Amino acid sequence: MLKRELYKVDNGKLLRERKFCPKCGPGVFMAEHEDRLTCGRCGYTERKKKK
């Protein structure tokens, strides 16, 4: 994944497309998997809700 895919510009404002890790803080994005979000730095994992 390229860094430019993690951000989007909308009306001159920078929007972050991914969620930050709550343990590591801003600057560390969570990886999106099919059923979970995972931090590659500390290993924190959140399960996605089933639809």
Chain segment 19-32, per-residue pLDDT in tens: 999 999 988 999 99
Residue 3 lies in a domain: no
**What is the domain range of residue 23?**
19-51
For the record, the structure tokens of 40 come out as 């590659």
Nearest to 18 by CA among 50, 51, 2: 2
Residue 1 lies in a domain: no
> What is the radius of gyration, based on Cα positions, of the chain?
12
For the record, the structure tokens of 45 come out as 């994992």
Confidence of residue 46 (pLDDT cuts 50, 70, 90): very high
0.75 exceeded by pTM: no
Residue 10 lies in a domain: no
Residue 11 lies in a domain: no
Q: How far is CA 47 from CA 12, 13, 18, 21, 28, in A?
A: 33, 29, 15, 13, 18
pLDDT for 34: 92
**The total number of structural domains that make up the chain:** 1
Count CB-CB contacts under 10 A for residue 46: 13
